[in-house]
Amino acid sequence: MSSKPVSVKSVASASSGRSEASPAVGLPIIPGRKSTVSSATVGRYMVLTAFLFYCVLPAAWIIAAMTKDNGQIFTTFGLWFSYPFHVFENLSGLVTYQDWIFVRWFGNSLIYAGSISFGSTLICALGGYAFSKYEFPGKQFLFNFILGTIMVPSTALVLPLFLMLNKIGLVNTMWGVILPSLVNPFGLYLMKVFWDSSLPNELIEASRLEGANELQIFWRIGIPLMQTGLVTVALLGFVGAWNNFFLPLIVLSEQKLYPLTLGLNVWNSVSSGAGGKPIYNLIAMGSLVSVLPLLIAFVVLGKYWRGGLTAGATKG
Amino acid sequence: MRRYRKTAFLFLAPFLVVFLAFYLAPVCYALYLSLFVRKRIGIGPPKEVFGGLANYIRAVQDTDFLNGLKNMFVFGVVQVPIMLGLAILLALLLHQSRGFFMKVCRTAFFMPYGIPTAIGAMVWGYLYSANLSPFNQILRALHEGTIDFLSPAIVLFSIANIVTWTWTGYNMITLFAALQNIPQDLYEAARVDGAKTWDIVRRIQIPLLLPTLKILFIFSVIGTSQLFTEAFVLRPLGYLADNITPNLYLYLTAARDANYSYAGALAILLALLIFVISGPFLRRVASR
């Protein structure tokens, strides 16, 4: 049995490592009551399978719609393929429609998510370091205050933010989306937690005695120890920015600056509105392409993702 | 350590700058704006004049706003418990499972959370929509009547379903992580004492999940109060009232009616309400 202590961050790896190695882990299987156990097992699998179908239902619709032209989307069963496949027509249609606007949206999303993720991770790493490694008056109050702002509804912020951005000329610019998104109270909290556990205070003291200055300690000694924390916060920042809808909706008016979420929603409104030309096949294709980077990140970096989210609720 | 105060401040400065500029300043600005009302004086366009608490007085009597709050309340007492109950059930079942199927489930359950809300809601919109819905295709084939998922009577449930679909997996993963943190000795001790599966669930797992569950409940309530994207995306597909969620009403007040001062007052009232509801919970959780 693996004796590795299970920290929240290593939940993913720990649980997968355990699964085959130690059947004794988890709930006990009561010997001599095989029949009840197996009926419970059947029930368990049925519930899990049912929920599995529920989770993939929208994905199934998208994948089925991807194979159809727009007419077939209305006339054939929504959750099954149509043959011959129209996948490649849909893909080229998606890319070239309205002067390659989808490619532009995709690029915009990459710019938004990339810069927001990088910027907010850096800012939170610095700020989290201050909260973790230094003492200063009002520290606890300030930390609680910043965390408390998570409760403010986004509309409460974004509407006055729009008026402010309007005054300084940032409305309908990329900066108008990027700069406000750099504020990430939850990222700051995560960074503090990661600094607490990744960089021992003794190491800082020792480095000071060696003559390193504070920035050198942060950059040369601290940052290399923080890989998990940095990847987690950067990933959550990327996903949050990639999925953002409300802020760009308010700030941007020009379609050329839209991220994917907003762009697809325009197509949706046009397709569903009166007199519009329906392009549900392109929307389905576009939805799939939009979530593809997330799915890849999800499979490759899944443990950071889960670890970061669960840290918020399981670490007091 | 006194001598590092300045260093600490320098490390904190970048965060504080963006926080002040793009977080605190807008809130203060909203507070300031909310004290003005638009009035038409004589002939000519209406002007913004100081109105004290007039906007707030109007807001607490605004049936549209109150209707949104009522829907939010219904969400809080119906959707949130269903979602969290489902999350507990799935976390417990997954905790008992091993191997490949368990990993597939864990990934698939969590996946909706990673999908942009706007896109998830849009595709659910097609699953609901009158001329695309596969559910209605099945019902039609069976010669049963069709269901209009986006009709005023049902649409709140349809939105609740999207939220449940998106967030159950997230809640489940968090509870699952908390389950993994329960020390093995507890199970072994219980087994020695002859505890059955149900006893272990009731006496060990549920009580130890309670702190995590409380936080998830608060997160869910906060999330409920911010409900916007789902309703906004579904609007082109069917009839959705402007006042279905407080946030949609707020958005339309500002973006369509350009009444920023009133929207500011609504936003502040909403934020206050959330503080009042979740503040005591959070304090208790933080002090544990």
Q: CB of B18 within 8 Å of any CB in chain A?
A: yes
pLDDT at A135: 92
B174 falls within a domain: yes
Nearest CA in chain A to B246: A155
Q: CB of A300 within 8 Å of any CB in chain B?
A: no
Chain B environment of A316 (Cβ under 8 Å) = 211, 285-286, 288
Q: CB of A38 within 8 Å of any CB in chain B?
A: no
Mean per-residue pLDDT for B5-33?
92
Q: CB of B116 within 8 Å of any CB in chain A?
A: yes
Shortest alpha-carbon distance between residue A14 and chain B (Å): 9
Q: Is the pLDDT of residue B6 over 50?
A: yes
CATH number at residue B213: 1.10.3720.10
Q: Is the pLDDT of residue B288 over 60?
A: no
pLDDT at B132: 86
pLDDT at A15: 39
Question: Can you tell me the distance from the alpha carbon of B117 to that of B95, in angstroms, rounded to the nearest whole number?
Answer: 28
pLDDT at B191: 86
B55 falls within a domain: no
Find the length of chain B.
288
Shortest alpha-carbon distance between residue A83 and chain B (Å): 18
What range defines the domain where residue B106 resides? Answer: 65-117+148-286
B54 C-beta neighbours (distance < 10 Å), count:
18
Indicate which of A63, A251, A268 best probes the interface with B, i.e. most B CBs within 10 Å of its own CB.
A268
Lowest mean pLDDT among A99-103, A109-113, B69-73, B98-102: B98-102
pLDDT at B283: 67
**Alpha-carbon A19 to chain mean position:** 27
B129 falls within a domain: no
Q: Is the pLDDT of residue B77 over 80?
A: yes
Torsion angle defined by CA atoms of residues A108, A114, A119 and A122, in that order, rounded to the nearest 10 degrees: 180
A120 C-beta neighbours (distance < 10 Å), count:
26
Cis peptide before A84 (omega within 30 of 0): yes
- Mean pLDDT per 10-residue interval, chain A, length 316 residues: 37 38 46 60 92 94 91 86 87 91 96 97 97 92 87 76 89 95 92 92 92 92 92 91 93 95 93 80 94 84 74 55
ipTM: 0.89
pLDDT at A191: 94
Give pLDDT tens digits for B168-191: 998 998 899 889 888 888 888 888
Nearest CA in chain A to B199: A27
A246 C-beta neighbours (distance < 10 Å), count:
22
Chain A environment of B29 (Cβ under 8 Å) = 160, 163-164
pLDDT at B267: 87
Torsion angle defined by CA atoms of residues B234, B83, B286 and A128, in that order, rounded to the nearest 10 degrees: -50
Total domains present in chain B = 1
Mean per-residue pLDDT for B29-34?
88
Q: Homologous superfamily of A92-314 in CATH? A: MetI-like (1.10.3720.10)
A-contacting residues in B 37-76 (Cβ below 8 Å): none
Q: Evaluate whether B7 touches A216 at the Cβ level (below 8 Å).
A: no
Q: At what angle do helices A34-66 and A280-314 cross, to 10 degrees?
A: 140
Q: CB of B157 within 8 Å of any CB in chain A?
A: no
B76 falls within a domain: yes
pLDDT at B92: 94
Q: CB of A298 within 8 Å of any CB in chain B?
A: yes
- Local confidence band at B195 (pLDDT 50, 70, 90 cut-offs): confident
Give pLDDT tens digits for B213-247: 988 988 898 888 889 999 999 998 887 889 999 99
Mean per-residue pLDDT for B13-34?
92
Q: Evaluate whether B74 touches B155 at the Cβ level (below 8 Å).
A: no
Residue corresponding to tokens 């490390």? B11
A-contacting residues in B 191-230 (Cβ below 8 Å): 191, 196-197, 200, 211-212, 215-216, 219, 222, 225-226, 228-229
Shortest alpha-carbon distance between residue A99 and chain B (Å): 22
Nearest CB to A164; choose among B7, B29, B267: B29
B38 falls within a domain: no
More confident residue, B107 or A218: A218
B227 falls within a domain: yes
Mean per-residue pLDDT for B192-200?
86
Nearest CB to B18; choose among A65, A123, A260: A123
Q: CB of A52 within 8 Å of any CB in chain B?
A: yes
